[in-house]
Amino acid sequence: MARVLHNLLLFLIRLAQKIRVLGYWSLIYGYCALCTIVALLKLWWNIILRPTTTFQWVIRETPPACLNDTSLGTHCYVRIKESGLRFHYVAAGERGKPLMLFLHGFPEFWFSWRYQLREFKSEFRVVAIDMRGYGESDLPLSTESYRFEYLVTDVKDIGYNRCCLVGHDWGGTIAWLFAIHYPEMVTKLIVLNCPHPSVFTDYALRHPSQLLKSSHFFFFQLPRFPELMLSINDFKALKALFTSRSTGIGRKGRWLTPGALTGALNYYRNVFSSLPLSQNHVRSPVLLLWGERDTFLEQEMAEACRLYIRNHFRLNIISGASHWLQQDQPDIVNTLIWTFLKEGEGRKSYRN
């Protein structure tokens, strides 16, 4: 009898787990379907009811002059042995100085760090890379190539011993994960508008408002259709991220050149299937900068990150700043970074 009850209990546990998994993926793909319907309605409205709208793709064979501005640094390439991929980066400052490594987010590339490259090259060897699938870095085609473990390994294998690591948006997620798994390589961690991965997961599951703000996560799970929606009308949807009143950069002189879309979207397409963190605490000193006008992330998550820091933690909420705060409020961002860098450890601790 005891054996029968034991087997029945195991069966019920396994059934509950399967139901939970089924419910999880049903929620994800159900939300994907809802987002697709909304996107199709918008497309139908623009093309059928507003026939003046046309499909446009603009090919720019000559890059804008600002990308070749020598004051920003030197364009370089490195091939990583582990993956065989070639990465493009822009570097400035003297070799041998402490390394400050910048990781951009979606849908950007190295240029989003232009204000920081100029600012910190006097004291650091500053390097802003094009992440896998962006800009002039290699673009693997398979979705599997953008799993978190590969993205973190890219950062590890670029070629250095230690660095001050700076990340924004998706670059912030990779920076958090890198600091968790390779703490000996991170002297200080600086993250802009990106919560600790565990904070984001826990908060999003408990707050429908954040799920709504993250609806693009679900829409981007679809193959090909997001690429179409983001690229029509000369990438109008992407430009709106940077220029609209609700989500855009608050500064004048805004500029955008989107890269290949599939690689960038593949970051999102692996987010639900990635393995959970084996351990999730950060042992490096952490500065978290947060734009008050961020419309993609709830501000409450910023303070919650404190629970996962086993070292000095500083949080600064920048009033009036958008999600793109390193471009939106570069002077304030740079000042706060300098203050953080001068706290605690001396400059010698940054040496490679």
Among 169, 181, 294, 350, which one carries the catalytic annotation? 169
| Other beta carbons less than 10 A from residue 6's beta carbon | 10
Query: How many angstroms separate the CA atoms of 190 and 335, rounded?
Result: 13
Catalytic-residue membership of 268 = yes
- Token look-up 């970074």 returns 337
Among 89, 134, 267, 268, which one carries the catalytic annotation? 268
- Answer whether 322's CB lies under 8 Å from 227's CB: no
Catalytic-residue membership of 294 = no
Among 203, 323, 328, 350, which one carries the catalytic annotation? 323
3-state DSSP of the chain: CHHHHHHHHHHHHHHHHHHHHHHHHHHHHHHHHHHHHHHHHHHHHHHHHCCCCCCCCCCCCCCCHHHHCHHHCEEEEEECCCCCCEEEEEEECCCCCCEEEEECCCCCCHHHHHHHHHHHCCCCEEEEECCCCCCCCCCCCCHHHHCHHHHHHHHHCCCCCCEEEEEECHHHHHHHHHHHHCHHHEEEEEEECCCCHHHHHHHHHHCHHHHHHCHHHHHCCCCCHHHHHHHHHHHHHHHHHHHCCCCCCCCCCCCCCCCCHHHHHHHHHCCCCCCCCCCCCECCCEEEEEECCCCCCCCHHHHHHHHHECCCEEEEEECCCCCCHHHHCHHHHHHHHHHHHCCCCCHHHHCC
Sheet of 286-291: strand order equals 74-79, 86-92, 125-129, 99-103, 163-168, 186-192, 286-291, 313-318
Catalytic-residue membership of 323 = yes
Q: Among all residues, which ones are annotated catalytic?
A: 169, 268, 323
